[in-house]
Amino acid sequence: MQETNLYNKNRELLKLIGSYSKPDISKSVWQLVNSILPYILLWPVMIYVSQISWWLVVPLAILAAGFVVRQFIIFHDCGHGSFLRSEYASEMIGFVTGILTLTPYYRWHNSHMIHHNTAGNLDHRGIGDVWTMTIDEYKNATKWQKIKYRAYRNPMIMFFIGAPLIFLVTNRFTRRDFSRKERMSVYFTNMGIIAIACGISAFTGFKTYLLIQLMITYFASISGVFLFYVQHQFEDVHWYDDQSWDYSTVAIAGSSYFKLPRILQWFSGNIGFHHIHHLSSRIPNYNLEKCYSANKEFQAVKAITLKESFKTLKLKLWDNVEKKLVTYAQAGF
């Protein structure tokens, strides 16, 4: 009965937030300007200070990484059709921001849409999400599978090694199961990256370009993957089997409200209001906070602060009995 009431309540919320789903061309254009222009301007500054000391480049690269995360949110919104009304314009901006963030547009959004349609579904894990085993699955796994899983869930490997590898290496290649559209998005993104690399290298040398690009990508990828992790891996998250799964219910109960400091909220394009985004991915990122502030129903969701977010790293396995994520110790391992 409780889940039925939650279902009906969230269906009403879908009707309530329809007015926030309309893109504002002036806000979208301004967001493009304040996300891409500062990033472009930072490059000559980083190139210049690299001649003095590479240590001076590091804080500038961290700042540039913040703008890359913000560009990724635009890239993300374009795929949902929430950034602009024009599908063609959204795709063009998506391709450009995809090159800047080293992410092939069609390939990424294909798996991301699967994520939206299966998030919180225990029977459809594995695409566009964080690898999560149940206690029983882990208990029955082979020794090698347990080693791989523990390595994957180790924060040092997941964020500081795995995250950069996704954007630098994995995104550069296709697979046999990719559609023609997905393969072409990988090829064109790679060509765009090469064109930019050659252009910058012609003025400053390839080594300088490469070191700066690696630093930016390293910091941006760690931040981006951590954001995604916290949005669906937290103590109060709700997951359901396929029979009980419902999109609107899981959007609220299976996605977090990640309450970030104002400056980090700006750089992350309000994606911390993830419960609202999953309820309606058609809401532009710049309307998410407005929607949250105007509707008490969304404010009832428990916020996760930046300090509290680091505690989620201890959660490793899904407990089918207690219906929550638990640590290895809590699971008896």
CA distance linking residue 326 with residue 333, whole number of Å? 11
Closest alpha carbon to 75 in 42, 112, 129: 112
- Whole-angstrom CA distances from 133 to 72, 128, 141, 219 are 28, 15, 10, 28
**Count of CB atoms situated within 10 Å of the CB of 78:** 25
Confidence (pLDDT) at 250: 87
Average pLDDT, the chain: 93
pLDDT, mean of residues 90-97: 97
Which helix (DSSP H) or strand (DSSP E) does residue 326 occupy? Answer: strand 324-326
At 11, the pLDDT band (50, 70, 90 cuts) reads low
Phi/psi at 268 (5° precision)? -90, 10
Closest alpha carbon to 270 in 255, 285, 260, 256: 285
Q: Which two tokens stand for residue 263?
A: 């400056």
Closest alpha carbon to 277 in 268, 264, 31: 268
User: Against a cut of 0.85, is the pTM above it?
Assistant: yes
Residues of the chain with pLDDT > 90: what percent? Answer: 86
Per domain, the residue ranges of the chain are 2-331
Half-sphere exposure of 20 (CA within 13 A, CB side): 23
Q: Does the pLDDT value for residue 7 go beyond 50? A: no
Closest alpha carbon to 197 in 220, 183, 173, 214: 214
CA distance linking residue 274 with residue 238, whole number of Å? 14
Q: Does the pLDDT value for residue 194 go beyond 50? A: yes
Lowest mean pLDDT among 11-20, 185-194, 266-275: 11-20
pLDDT tens digits for range 35-64: 999 999 999 999 999 999 999 999 999 999
pLDDT, mean of residues 289-293: 94
For β-strands 133-134 and 257-259, DSSP reports them as unpaired
Q: Does the pLDDT value for residue 2 go beyond 50? A: no
Residues of the chain with pLDDT > 70: what percent? Answer: 95
Confidence (pLDDT) at 33: 98
Phi/psi at 178 (5° precision)? -70, 145
